[in-house]
Amino acid sequence: MSDEVLQEAFGKVSDGGTAKMERVPEVLKEVGVEVPGDLDQILASVVPEQAEISLLDLKAVVKVLQRKSLVPELSQPATTTPRRTYLENGMLTEDETVLSFIRALEEHKKKCEREQKYTEARVTATRLLDLKAREAETRRKQMAERQTMEREEAEKAFEHEKEQQGELWDTRKQEYEAGVLERMERLKVAHEAQLAEFHETQETQRPRRPQYSKELLNQRKITECLAKLEEYEKAEKLKVVTDQIERAEMRATQATFDANVALRLQRLMLKQKNEADGLQQKATQGRRELDLSRQQDIKRREQRFKNVLSELANLQKLEQVQLEHFLQQQAIAGKRQSDKKGGAGLKGLSGGRMLLA
């Protein structure tokens, strides 16, 4: 198909040197080019955000479609978003549609130079520079947006993990405090039972008679002897005295017993207090250890997050260097490939390792 045929078909639908995008399929059918199902996607790749297309761009689009019909693997839908293939195989992924479009413009420029159509060659060269500049800016913008999103996702994941771990540590602390209260309650019940048993035991051991002194026993014998001798008056008087002595000794015996009980009770309560204090100290130490473990866990997670951000930053810097090198080689590769024959260019394209023009 000659340029004259395409120009004639374009002239039927154009107005002021450009045609509506929706008229492109009509022109393609008229010149005998098969209209692909992804035509809108192809047009969006080469002339984005435009409602009209020029004859120059339409010529390049036709050449792209002709190449797609010759090379089946190029018929796959093009993507306008650079993927992070560098991290997988050391290469950046080319947008095949834009690549073919740039090559088509390069070929058209060379053709115009050979045919001495310098005005059209200049327009084509300007279009090439604009397209390459837009492609480079698009790639940089997409990479910057994706890298920003990666950092935001990493920060969001860290905050989510931090919140989850905070809830987990709060639950652990609540469970620990509940365990401390339970142990304190059990100890309290045990102490109350010990005190009740102590008082019950002491009550059963309380003396019911005094510890008789030698003097009291002698007085009792004398009283009995006086009674045998029928000295009842003397025996009665002596009995009154011995009864008083017995009551006094009974009070002394009980006082001694009560003093011993009070001493033993004091020792028991001191023992219980030491046990309660020991449990409180263990609980306090456990709280400190729990808080320390929590702080250490927070520090470990923060350090791990810093390592993740550092590694991500290094990868992103590497991507940026690779992208700039990739873009720097575009003009060189594009000019080199445009000097080759169409068949050789398609062969290099199908290899998947040629840099974008």
97 and 122 housed in the same domain: yes
Q: Give the pair of three-digit tokens for residue 94.
A: 């080319």
Predicted local confidence at residue 95, as pLDDT? 60
Round to whole Å and give the CA distance between 47 and 89.
30
227 and 310 housed in the same domain: yes
242 falls within a domain: yes
**Structural domain boundaries, residue 199:** 166-322
Q: Structural domain tally of the chain? A: 2
Round to whole Å and give the CA distance between 173 and 157.
24
Round to whole Å and give the CA distance between 18 and 335.
28
Round to whole Å and give the CA distance between 65 and 59.
10
Predicted local confidence at residue 69, as pLDDT? 62
- Spell out the residues 6+ positions from residue 198 whose beta carbon is closer than 8 angstroms to its own: 264, 265, 268
The DSSP secondary-structure symbol of 255 reads H
41 falls within a domain: yes
357 falls within a domain: no
Q: Check: pTM over 0.85? Answer yes or no.
A: no
On whether the CB atoms of residues 355 and 94 are closer than 8 A, the answer is: yes
Query: Residue 229, Cβ neighbours under 10 Å: how many?
Result: 10
66 falls within a domain: yes
The DSSP secondary-structure symbol of 208 reads S
161 falls within a domain: no
215 and 111 housed in the same domain: no
Q: For the chain, count helices (H), then strands (E).
A: 11, 2
63 falls within a domain: yes
How confident is the model over 42-95, as pLDDT tens digits?
Answer: 777 666 667 778 777 777 777 777 766 655 443 344 443 444 444 444 444 456
Round to whole Å and give the CA distance between 91 and 78.
17
Q: Indicate left, alpha or beta for 14 from its phi (over 0: left) and psi (-120 to 50: alpha).
A: beta
Report residue 323's pLDDT band, with 50, 70 and 90 as the boundaries.
Answer: confident
On whether the CB atoms of residues 95 and 356 are closer than 8 A, the answer is: yes
Q: HSE (CB half, 13 Å, CA atoms) of 103?
A: 30
160 falls within a domain: no
In the chain, what is the straight-line distance between the N-terminal and C-terminal CA atoms, in Å? 25
On whether the CB atoms of residues 81 and 29 are closer than 8 A, the answer is: no
How confident is the model over 160-210, as pLDDT tens digits?
Answer: 999 999 999 999 999 999 999 999 999 999 999 999 999 999 888 888 877
274 and 334 housed in the same domain: no
On whether the CB atoms of residues 348 and 356 are closer than 8 A, the answer is: no
